[in-house]
Amino acid sequence: MSETKRPAETPAISLSNIAFTWTETGYRIAVDRFDVRRAERVLLLGRSGGGKSTLLGLICGISTPSAGRVEILGTDLATLSAGRRDRFRAEHIGVIFQMFNLLPYASARENVRLGLAFAPGRTARTADPESAIEDLLTRLALPDGDLRRRSASRLSTGQQQRVAAARALIGAPELIVADEPTSALDTDSQERFLELLFAQLDRQGSSLLMVSHDDRLAPRFDRVVRTEEILRSEPGS
């Protein structure tokens, strides 16, 4: 049985007394306490190799800590089997990966549609999936026509990034987690992307945790946290 509290009482993310070690490298992190509130937008800033992606993996339930508690939207991830954790992630967390992780041979539309796979709640919130996909791609400035039919591998980096954002946002999951989604873009494209992303977040009221090493992004967020404020890491052997 998962342990679930009422939404109004629960933060989007609540981490306590976390310890995690990568067995292959011995690199370890510890986090005493870290919370993100509902609808809050938090930027986690830190140097490269400082453990940001490792932390996001724990928050998304891709990795599991050796100690401590990861609670997402009131659910303690340790109470879920691996399969249920995957379904929980699909249903409640829109993830924008650093390398986007699009299916290269699938079209932009098909990649966005994947955001609804294994996510009955997100699907139920999307009355008409095909027009929702078109609407999101329009809002995220991926022009109609050939581009939306083209396989993802034939899109520019910025276009792939917007497809990845649309896939994360479709069906309005409560939490969006983004791992350096703007790192491959020039400053103007970064600005445009963030504007589009934030406008969509305003519409759907999701929380956002974004990690980056670029502190120029800071003014746009409700709160900025530096990795060294919450996370201790040891390089291993």
Ligand X SMILES: Nc1ncnc2c1ncn2[C@@H]1O[C@H](COP(=O)(O)OP(=O)(O)OP(=O)(O)O)[C@@H](O)[C@H]1O
Residue numbers of the site for ligand X (CB under 6 A)? 22, 24-25, 27, 46, 48-54, 213
Nearer to ligand X, 192 or 213 (CB): 213
Q: What are phi and psi of 45, to 5 degrees?
A: -105, 140
Q: How crowded is residue 21: how many other Cβ atoms within 10 Å of its Cβ?
A: 16
Nearer to ligand X, 54 or 207 (CB): 54
Amino acid identity of 165?
A
Q: Which residues pair with 21 in a beta bridge?
A: 28
Residue with tokens 């997100």: 122
The nearest distance, CB 56 to ligand X, in angstroms, is 8
Rg (CA), the chain: 17
The nearest distance, CB 234 to ligand X, in angstroms, is 10
Nearer to ligand X, 54 or 107 (CB): 54
The nearest distance, CB 24 to ligand X, in angstroms, is 4
Nearer to ligand X, 55 or 116 (CB): 55
Alpha-helix residue ranges (DSSP H) falling in 3-106? 52-59, 82-92
The nearest distance, CB 180 to ligand X, in angstroms, is 6
